Amino acid sequence: MRNTNTGYKPLLWILVIPVLNIFYGILNHGGPNVVSLTTDLDERIPFVPAFIIPYLIWYPFILAMLIVFFIKMRRVYYQTLITLCLGLVACYITYYFYQTVIIRPTITGDGFINWLVSLVYSDNPYNCFPSIHVLTSYLMLKGMSDCTTLSKTSRLLIFITSWTIIISTLFVKQHFLLDIAGAILLAEVLYFVVGKLLPVQAESKQSVVTDREENSMIGDVIEIKGDKVV
C-alpha cells in the first residue's frame, strides 16, 4: 500500500529558501561603493513603529501561503516557489554588485513595539534594493491570482496581508520606494518567465501519463477479449 506521506515530499523544496538565505548574511555589509536610493518622497513618509507587526508577520505568512498553494493547486506552488528562489538569487547578485543602504531613525522609549523595532534594527541596514520582503509578498499576490480554488474571503485576506507587509517596509524605514518598485518589477518578470516554462513541462509529463494509461486500457481490453475467446 502506498504511503500517503510521500505525497507531501515536494514541500521539502521549501527548505531551499533558508539555504539561499545564507548569502543574505554574507552580503549584508558596507563597502566602498554603497549608495542610497532615498528620494524626497521617502523623506516625507513618517516612521510608524506599529508597522513592525505586519513586517514580522511576513515570516510565517510566506511559509503558510506556500503550503496553501501546495494543497490547493500544485502548479501554482511550483511556479511561486521557483520564482521566489530565482528572485532570491537575483537579489543576492544585485547586492553583491550594487549594494544599497538605508539610514534608520533612532529608537527612543520602551515598550514591546519599540523592542521589536530594535530587534529588527540589530541587523545591518544593507541589502535594500530590491526588497526581499516586497518580492516574496508580491509573489503571494501573483500566486493568489492564479490559484482559482481559493475562496473570496481567502483572497481578500491574502491581498490585505501582502500589501500591508509591503507598505510596512516603508513605515518602519527598512526600504525606500525604489526598493519596492524594483522588487515588484523583478517578481513580475520572473513569474512570467517561470509560468511560460512550467506548462511545457507539465504537458509533457501529462502526455506520458496519458499514454501509459491508454496502453494499460488497451492491454485490459485485449485480456478481456482473450478470456471470452477461451
Per-residue pLDDT of 205-214, as tens digits, reads 433 333 444 3
Q: Residue 35 pairs with which residues in a beta bridge? A: 100
pLDDT of residue 7: 87
Residue 28 has pLDDT above 70, yes or no: yes
Residue 182 has pLDDT above 70, yes or no: yes
Percentage of the chain surpassing pLDDT 90?
80
Mean pLDDT estimate for the chain: 88
**Residue range 153-166: mean pLDDT, rounded:** 98
Per-residue pLDDT of 58-114, as tens digits, reads 999 999 999 999 999 999 999 999 999 999 999 999 999 999 999 999 998 889 999
**Does residue 203 or residue 164 have the better pLDDT?**
164
**Residue range 160-189: mean pLDDT, rounded:** 98
**Does residue 6 or residue 192 have the better pLDDT?**
192
Domain coordinates of the chain in residue numbers? 15-229
Residue 21 has pLDDT above 70, yes or no: yes
- Distance from first CA to last CA of the chain, Å, rounded? 33
HSE-CB at 169 with a 13 A cutoff on CA atoms is 27
Percentage of the chain surpassing pLDDT 70?
84
Of 59, 58, 177, the residue nearest 128 (C-alpha): 177
Per-residue pLDDT of 108-122, as tens digits, reads 888 999 999 999 999
Residue 229 has pLDDT above 90, yes or no: no
* Cα-based distances in Å from 155 to 63, 135, 168, 174: 16, 18, 20, 27
Cα separation, 109 vs 3, in Å, equals: 55
pLDDT of residue 3: 55
Three-state SS for 101? strand
**Does residue 229 or residue 105 have the better pLDDT?**
105
Confidence of residue 203 (pLDDT cuts 50, 70, 90): very low
